[in-house]
Structure 1
Amino acid sequence: MNYQAPLRDMRFVLHELFDIGNHCALLGNGLDRELIDGVLEEGARYAAGVLAPLNRQSDEQGCQLDAGQVSTPEGFAEAYQQYVDNGWASMTGPSEFGGQGLPQMLACNFHEMLMSASLSFRVYSGLTEGAVLALHRHGSETLKRDYLAKLVSGQWAGTMCLTEPQAGTDLALLRTKAEAQADGSYKVSGSKIFISGGEQDLSENIVHLVLARLPDAPAGVKGISLLLVPKFIASPDGGLGARNALSCGALEHKMGIKGAATCVMNFDGATGWLIGAANQGLACMFTMMNDARFQVGLQGLGIAEAAFQGALGYARERLQSRALGGAVAPGKAADPIISHPDVRRMLLTQKTLVEGSRMLAVYCARQLDLEHAHPDLAARQAAGKRAALLIPLVKAFCTDMGQEVASLGVQVYGGHGYIREWGMEQLMRDSRITQLYEGTNGIQALDYIRRKVLGDGGSELSQLQAEFSQLCDEQMSRPTLAELAHALQARIGEWRELSSAVIAASQRDVQEIGATSVDFLQYSAYVLLAGLWLQAAARAQDVLDEGLAGPAFYQAKLHSATFYFKRVLPRASGHREALLGGAACLMAMPEDSFAF
Structure 2
Amino acid sequence: MPTYTPPLRDMQFVLHEVLDVTAALQAMPAHAEIDADTVNAVLEEGGKFAAGVIQPLNAPGDAEGCTLDKATHTVHAPQGFKEAYAQYVAGGWPALSCDPAYGGQGLPVTLNQCLYEMLNSANQAWTMYPGLTHGAYECLHAHGTPEQQALYLPKLTSGHWTGTMCLTEPHCGTDLGLLRSKAEPLADGSYRITGQKIFISAGDHELAENIIHLVLARLPDAPAGSKGISLFVVPKFLVHADGSLGARNAIVCTGLEHKMGIHGNATCQMALDGALGTLVGEPNKGLAAMFVMMNAARLGVGMQSLGLTEVAYQNAVAYAKDRLQMRSLTGAKAADKPADPIIVHPDVRKMLLTARAYAEGGRALAVYTALQLDHELSHPDEDVRRAAADEVALLTPIVKAFLTDNAWLATSHCLQVYGGHGYIREWGMEQFVRDARINMIYEGTNTIQSLDLLGRKVLGDGGKKLKAFGRKVAAFVEDEGVDEAMQEFVNPLADLGDKVTKLSTELGFKGMGNADEVGAAAVDYLRVCGHLVFAYFFARMAKVALAKQADPATAGDPFYTAKLATARFYFAKLLPETASLIRSARAGSASLMALDEALF
Cα drift, residue 298 of structure 1: 0.5
Matching residue within 283, 306, 320 for 2:325: 320
Look up the match of 1:380. Answer: 385
What CA deviation, in whole Å up to 9, does each residue of 1:396-419 have, x standing for no partner?
000011111110011100000011
Cα drift, residue 485 of structure 1: 1.0
Look up the match of 1:491. Answer: 496
Cα drift, residue 476 of structure 1: 2.1
State the distance in 1 between where 2:566 and 2:486 align: 13
What CA deviation, in whole Å up to 9, does each residue of 1:47-96 have, x standing for no partner?
11001100000011000001211110011001000111101111121110
State the distance in 2 between where 1:333 and 1:104 align: 51
Which letter maps to 1:519? D
Look up the match of 2:354. Answer: 349
State the distance in 2 between where 1:510 and 1:455 align: 13
Look up the match of 1:516. Answer: 521
Look up the match of 2:568. Answer: 562
What CA deviation, in whole Å up to 9, does each residue of 1:121-149 have, x standing for no partner?
01111111111111011111111111110
Look up the match of 1:21. Answer: 22
Look up the match of 1:282. Answer: 287
State the distance in 1 between where 2:346 and 2:192 align: 63
Q: Gaps (5+ residues) in structure 1?
A: none
Pairing 1:201–2:206 present: yes
Cα drift, residue 242 of structure 1: 2.1
What CA deviation, in whole Å up to 9, does each residue of 1:520-574 have, x standing for no partner?
0001101210111000000111111222234211111111111111100000111
Which letter maps to 1:34? D
State the distance in 2 between where 1:262 and 1:442 align: 23
**Secondary structure class of the residue paired with 1:118:** helix
Cα drift, residue 21 of structure 1: 1.0
Deviates more, 1:539-548 or 1:261-270: 539-548
Matching residue within 55, 58, 62 for 2:58: 55
Cα drift, residue 483 of structure 1: 2.3
Pairing 1:94–2:123 present: no
Look up the match of 1:269. Answer: 274
Deviates more, 1:555-564 or 1:174-183: 555-564
**Secondary structure class of the residue paired with 2:75:** strand
Deviates more, 1:3-12 or 1:324-333: 324-333
State the distance in 2 between where 1:92 and 1:337 align: 43
Matching residue within 403, 421, 429 for 1:398: 403
State the distance in 1 between where 2:150 and 2:478 align: 53
Cα drift, residue 500 of structure 1: 0.8
Matching residue within 149, 164, 169 for 2:169: 164
Deviates more, 1:24-33 or 1:174-183: 24-33
Deviates more, 1:187-196 or 1:241-250: 241-250
Look up the match of 2:584. Answer: 578
Look up the match of 2:534. Answer: 529
State the distance in 1 between where 2:401 and 2:62 align: 25
Look up the match of 1:9. Answer: 10
Look up the match of 2:307. Answer: 302
Which letter maps to 1:340? H
5 Å-filtered alignment, 1:79-118, equals: 79-118=84-123
**Secondary structure class of the residue paired with 1:481:** helix
Cα drift, residue 162 of structure 1: 0.2
State the distance in 2 between where 1:277 and 1:488 align: 45
Look up the match of 2:233. Answer: 228
Pairing 1:31–2:34 present: yes
Which letter maps to 2:328? A
Cα drift, residue 479 of structure 1: 2.2
State the distance in 1 between where 2:99 and 2:442 align: 27
Which letter maps to 2:565? H
What CA deviation, in whole Å up to 9, does each residue of 1:427-450 have, x standing for no partner?
000111100000000000011111
**Secondary structure class of the residue paired with 1:74:** coil
State the distance in 2 between where 1:547 and 1:564 align: 27
Matching residue within 116, 119, 139 for 1:134: 139
State the distance in 1 between where 2:38 and 2:463 align: 40
Look up the match of 1:152. Answer: 157
State the distance in 1 between where 2:485 and 2:382 align: 40
**Secondary structure class of the residue paired with 2:94:** coil
State the distance in 2 between where 1:557 and 1:444 align: 30
State the TM-score, normalizing by the size of structure 2: 0.98
**Secondary structure class of the residue paired with 2:197:** strand
Look up the match of 2:195. Answer: 190
State the distance in 1 between where 2:109 and 2:171 align: 35
**Secondary structure class of the residue paired with 2:215:** strand
What CA deviation, in whole Å up to 9, does each residue of 1:292-320 have, x standing for no partner?
00000111101111110111000010011
Look up the match of 2:472. Answer: 467
Q: CA RMSD in A?
A: 0.9
Look up the match of 1:501. Answer: 506
Deviates more, 1:326-335 or 1:178-187: 326-335
**Secondary structure class of the residue paired with 1:439:** coil
Cα drift, residue 477 of structure 1: 2.1
Cα drift, residue 326 of structure 1: 1.7
> Percent identical across equivalent pairs?
50
State the TM-score, normalizing by the size of structure 1: 0.99
State the distance in 2 between where 1:577 and 1:225 align: 43
Which letter maps to 2:22? G
Pairing 1:551–2:557 present: yes
What CA deviation, in whole Å up to 9, does each residue of 1:192-215 have, x standing for no partner?
000011100100000000000000
**Secondary structure class of the residue paired with 1:229:** strand
Q: Gaps (5+ residues) in structure 2?
A: none
Pairing 1:180–2:181 present: no
**Secondary structure class of the residue paired with 2:501:** helix
**Secondary structure class of the residue paired with 1:395:** helix
State the distance in 1 between where 2:252 and 2:446 align: 31
**Secondary structure class of the residue paired with 2:211:** strand
What CA deviation, in whole Å up to 9, does each residue of 1:419-471 have, x standing for no partner?
11100000000111100000000000011111101111111101211211221
State the distance in 1 between where 2:13 and 2:504 align: 32
